[in-house]
Amino acid sequence: MNRQHEPGIEPGAGPGVRPGDNGRGTSGDGGSTTGDYEAGRQYEDRRYEGESVPGLFRKLANDVSTLFRQEIALAKAEMTSTVSDVRTGIASVAMGGAVLYAGILFLLGGVMLLLTEWMSLMWAAFLVGAVVAVIGLIMLASGRKKMSAESLAPDRTMDSLRKDADLARRKAQ
């Protein structure tokens, strides 16, 4: 297909040059126009016209490998950004936990002082300490139970695999 004799493109003219525009596009001020885009696209189409199929496959392989390298570089950049965000989040959670802990200590001190209206300071401290210790033990036991090996086993998956194996054995008989 000979693209040099298409309407709007002079034979021998470079990309983006139309008759009568002196290479400046259709706007006359040297700016980019849609005419430049269309002419550039037609030039791109002409660029591969005389090449062999193996040459085109080499270019395709090269373009695919370049695209793959660029995608890997983008993924690395995104992962670096994500790791940075996670580090910042961990630091924020740690600082928030420390401030929350201090706040809870002050609240417990206030509860203890409130209880001194009805009992001595020593008994108020023991009472608040005992209640907080019981709550802590309950939370600790609950966490240990959730982390036990039995609770970590994928029960539903194991049941499903057993059913599949039984079904396969029945079908094989």
Per-residue pLDDT reduced to its tens digit, 122-141: 999 999 999 999 999 999 98
Tokens of 65: 């490998």
Q: Is residue 135 part of a domain?
A: yes
Contact between 17 and 23 under an 8 Å Cβ cutoff? The reply is yes
Q: CA 165 → CA 67, 155, 160, distances in Å?
A: 45, 15, 9
Contact between 165 and 153 under an 8 Å Cβ cutoff? The reply is no
For 26-84, what is each residue's pLDDT tens digit? 444 444 555 555 655 555 555 666 678 888 888 888 888 888 888 888 888 888 888 88
Instruction: Tell me which residue range forms the domain holding 132.
Output: 121-173
Give the residue from 117, 116, 134 showing the smallest Cα distance to 125: 116
Q: Is residue 158 part of a domain?
A: yes
> Based on the structure, what is the number of domains in the chain?
1
Q: Is residue 38 part of a domain?
A: no
Phi, psi angles (nearest 5°) of residue 122? -65, -45
